[in-house]
Amino acid sequence: MKMTYRLIVAASLLLLFSSALMAKEKPGAEIIVVKNDGSRLSGELIAVKKDSLLLLAGSPSAGAVQSVPWETMTKVVIVKKARVGEGIAIGGLLLGGSGALIGYTDGDDPPGWLSFTAGQKAALGGITLGLLGIVVGGIGGAFAGADISLPVDVTSEARLRSVQTRLAQRARVKGIQ
């Protein structure tokens, strides 16, 4: 009896929390629209329409949804968050751990003029490869966080459709409306 009660409570809690998590809407990408007159408009990408973009300019609570026609744009920039810190952490940990593991598994050197214990080799390998991993990971993270610039060409239907498709994947409301 107790087991059945626990299963019912667990299933109820699971359903309750999963529906609450699914109700959260994923925000659209942060974009900058460069208009024909050189002015810029930035905000969250809400939806992509065949004739315009819907953009939430300002803060989500006080911002206003603006419709920006494709004909008024020269470029759309998708702003990506820098991932340098993430790259440094992953590169340093992976290569540092690998260096330490390689150094330790190599074992102790025979006694002599230049000999290291397995622990010393692990420390040297971890530090050396860890520093290399930090540099490589930082560079990789910087490239992973680079903004994406999409030129808007309304004279070519194929190019415009390509830009619309790429943006529609990153909008709050997916797909071209």
Note whether residue 79 is domain-resident: no
| Average pLDDT score over the chain | 80
Q: What is the pTM of this model?
A: 0.60
CA dist 48 → 39, 61, 70, 177 (Å): 20, 21, 10, 6
Count structural domains, the chain.
2
Domain housing 42: 25-73+154-177
169 and 130 within one domain: no
DSSP code string of 117-150: -HHHHHHHHHHHHHHHHHHHHHHHHHHHT--EEE
pLDDT given for residue 23 in this prediction = 46
| 8 A C-beta contact, residue 45 and residue 171 | yes
Q: How many CB atoms lie within 10 A of CB 133?
A: 24
pLDDT given for residue 148 in this prediction = 81
Note whether residue 64 is domain-resident: yes
- Tell me what the mean pLDDT of segment 62-90 comes to: 84
Note whether residue 19 is domain-resident: no
63 and 38 within one domain: yes
Note whether residue 4 is domain-resident: no
Note whether residue 16 is domain-resident: no
Q: What is the pLDDT of residues 143-167, one digit of tens each?
A: 887 778 888 887 888 888 888 888 8
Beta sheet of 40-48, edge-to-edge order: 64-69, 52-57, 40-48, 30-35, 73-79, 148-151
